[in-house]
Amino acid sequence: MLLTTSHSVSVRLGNFGFTENDTYISYLPLAHSFEQALFAAALLKGTRVGFFGGDVLKLTTEDLPALKPTVFPSVPRLYNKIYGKIQTNVKAATGVKKWLVNKAISTKLANLRGNNVVTSGCYDKLVFKKMQAIMGGNVKMMVTGSAPIHADVIEFLKICFCCPIAQGFGMTESSAGSVIQFPTDHTSGHCGGPVANCKLKLKSIPEMGYDA
């Protein structure tokens, strides 16, 4: 099950995910099915794996800048912390810098929602280059799972790191990956469709307001 799930998820991510030319950082608990699926996908596709130094608090200050991964999987708890840190720095800006940062954010969010574009030749160099450095500067694909995450957080991080963030969902019993977004799907607030090794059934639960 673990092998078929890992293969199915890597196929869904395509060239955005695990390939022989990619690197991902392993720092999630190895007992967690999410990390097991990620590690198995890396082995299947020949992806380079870097291991963090053991202190997750130093992940963005030491491990990521040193490894410079191209794929970054994480959980909402860490993404929310990164989001909060960036937002604090944005709100601390003053004068012309504040105007430029706010203009860059509003423009890129509009392009994301209207044109499915996460990059900007101008603003990425002027504003978002330092933000990209938090992840090492080479990240081309990010993945989130294991818990819900607010759509506003996802959209903000997409424009900050200039890459897609695919949200997925699964259970330990299905080896973590059951449904996940396509990397080219820039809409937020959902987990995408089932991967190749899963079958899903929609069932109505009238008392909870769910109608299949």
Q: Residues in the chain with pLDDT < 50? A: none
**DSSP characters for 149-171?**
--HHHHHHHHHHHTS-EEEEE--
Q: pLDDT tens digits for 129-171?
A: 988 988 899 999 999 988 889 999 999 999 999 999 999 888 8
Q: Which two tokens stand for residue 45?
A: 């596709």
Total domains in the fold of the chain = 1
Per the structure, the complete domain to which residue 45 belongs is given by 2-208
pLDDT given at position 162? 92
Question: Where does residue 9 rank: exposed (0-12), middle (13-18), buried (19+ CB within 10 A)?
Answer: buried
Half-sphere exposure of residue 207: CA atoms within 13 angstroms, side-chain side:
0
pLDDT given at position 103? 94
What is the rounded CA–CA span in Å between residue 129 and residue 132?
5
Q: pLDDT tens digits for 161-184?
A: 999 999 988 887 877 788 889 888
Q: Which two tokens stand for residue 208?
A: 């909870």
Residue 134 CB coordination number (10 Å): 18
- CATH number assigned to the domain comprising residue 90: 3.40.50.12780
